[in-house]
Amino acid sequence: MKWLVVGGGSMGRRRLRDLTYLNAGEVLLFEPASERCRDVAGAFGIRGFDNFEAALGESPGVVVISAPPTLHEAYVHAAMERGLHVFAEVPFVYDLRVAREIAAKAESYPGVLGVSHTIRYYPPYRIIHDLLADGAIGKPLYIECSLGNYLPDWHPYEDYRKFYGGDVRMGGAGMDMIFHDMAPILWWMGPITSVLARFSKLSPLEVQGPDNQDVLLGFAGGARGYFHNDIIERGTLGLHVRIAGETGTIEWRQDQTSLRLFESAANAARQVPFSAAPDWEQALAASGEMSRILSRQRVRSGQIPSAGDATFIYEFCYLREMREFADAVQGRRAYPVAFPQELENVSVFHAIWQSNEEVREIQL
C-alpha cells in the first residue's frame, strides 16, 4: 500500500521519519514548495511531488495530512471522496461545518479516520487521566492549564514569519495550540459547557494575529477552569497543569519527570514518577527506537519542550501513534479515537473564537 504524506514541514517530517522506519508500504511526499519538496524527499529517499493531483495519480491507499491547519479540509475531502484511509494532525479539519459532516459519515466510512492523539502516549498526560478516573483527588473542582512557548524557537531552521505558526489565517498565532490542549483537557475533565475567551497581541513579534489567549472554562461535571496559551515566553516550563479536587491536588510542570499528588488522607504531597504510567515499558521501548531513528535523520523537525530524562524522548509519542494508525489501516486493531471526540474539540474551539469575537461567554 502507498502512503501519501501531505506537507514537508516539521510535522510532515516526523510522519515521513516514522512511516519510512515502520516500512508500512511505499511512502510518497506532496509538498507544494518545489525546493522543499526536493530536499525533504531526497533526505528520506522517497519520491516527492509538488502537484497534488500528480501525487494522487500514484493511487495511494492512505493520506497523512500535515499541512497548516486551515488547509486540511481540501486534502481530507480529496481523500475521503476516494474512500482512502486518512490521518490528519490536530485539528482533523478546522471548519466546524465540515467536521459535523465528517462525523455524520464516520461510522459508515470504509476507511480509517485517524484523529491525531499524540499526547495520550506521553506518560504525564496518561497518569493525570488515570488519577482522575481512579478518584485520587475526589471530584475535580478546578483546572488551570498554562502553556507558553516562544514562536521563533518552534522551527529553528526557518524564519518564524514564513511558516504558518505566525499567521492566524493559517491556523497559527496560537490557534493550533488551543486545539492541541483542549483535547487533553476534555479527556481529563469531560465535556466543556461554557467558555469566556480573550485574545491579545502583546509582544513585538511580527505575527498576523494574537500572541496570547486566555479562556475561562465551565464543565458539565460542575468544575471550572482557566486555560492560557502564548507564543512569547522564552526559556520557560512550556506547560503547567494544576487540578484541584475535593480531596487533593494534581500538579505537573513540563520540566519535571514526575507529578506532584497531594492526597488529604496522607496529609502530604508525594511524587508520582512517569514510570507509574501503565504503558511505561512500551514508552521506554519506543524511546529506544526513536533514539536510533533520530541519530540517522538528515533533516530537522521542530522542538518539543520536555523534561530532561535520558530514559525517554517525547518524539516516541509520534512513533507509537503512527504505528497504531498503521495497524488499524492493516486491520490488526481498531483505531482508538473516534471522530465524535474530535468534533467535540472543534466545537469547543469555535465557541472560544466566538467568545473572543463577541466579548461574551458562550454556552455549548
Query: How far apart (Å, rounded) are the C-alpha atoms in residues 206 and 190?
Result: 36
pLDDT reported for residue 277:
95
Domain span including residue 167: 120-277+346-363
Q: How many domains does the chain have?
A: 1
Cβ proximity of 203 and 151 under 8 Å: no
Express each pLDDT in 229-260 by its tens digit.
999 998 877 899 999 999 999 999 998 999 99
Count of Cβ atoms closer than 10 Å to residue 327 Cβ = 16
Task: Give domain status of residue 2, yes or no.
Answer: no
Task: Give domain status of residue 61, yes or no.
Answer: no
Express each pLDDT in 72-125 by its tens digit.
999 999 999 999 999 999 999 999 999 999 999 999 999 999 999 999 999 999
Task: Give domain status of residue 176, yes or no.
Answer: yes
Task: Give domain status of residue 46, yes or no.
Answer: no
pLDDT reported for residue 158:
85
pLDDT for residue 47 is more than 90: yes
Express each pLDDT in 139-195 by its tens digit.
999 999 999 999 998 888 889 998 899 999 999 999 999 999 999 999 999 999 999
Task: Give domain status of residue 94, yes or no.
Answer: no
Q: How does the average pLDDT of the chain come out, rounded?
A: 93
pLDDT reported for residue 266:
66
Express each pLDDT in 164-174 by its tens digit.
999 999 999 99
pLDDT for residue 306 is more than 60: no
pLDDT for residue 312 is more than 80: no
Query: 206: domain CATH number?
Result: 3.30.360.10
Residue 192: all three cell numbers together: 466543556
Helix axes 72-80, 96-106, angle to 10 degrees: 20
What phi, psi does 289 have (nearest 5°)?
A: -60, -45
What residue type is 241 in one-letter code?
V
Q: How many CA atoms lie within 13 A of 192 on its CB side?
A: 31
Q: If we measure between CA atoms, which residue out of 281, 349, 333 comes closest to residue 92?
A: 349
Task: Give domain status of residue 208, yes or no.
Answer: yes
Task: Give domain status of residue 229, yes or no.
Answer: yes
pLDDT for residue 265 is more than 90: no
pLDDT reported for residue 28:
98
How large a percentage of the chain has pLDDT more than 90? Answer: 85
pLDDT-derived band at 358 (thresholds 50, 70, 90) equals: very high
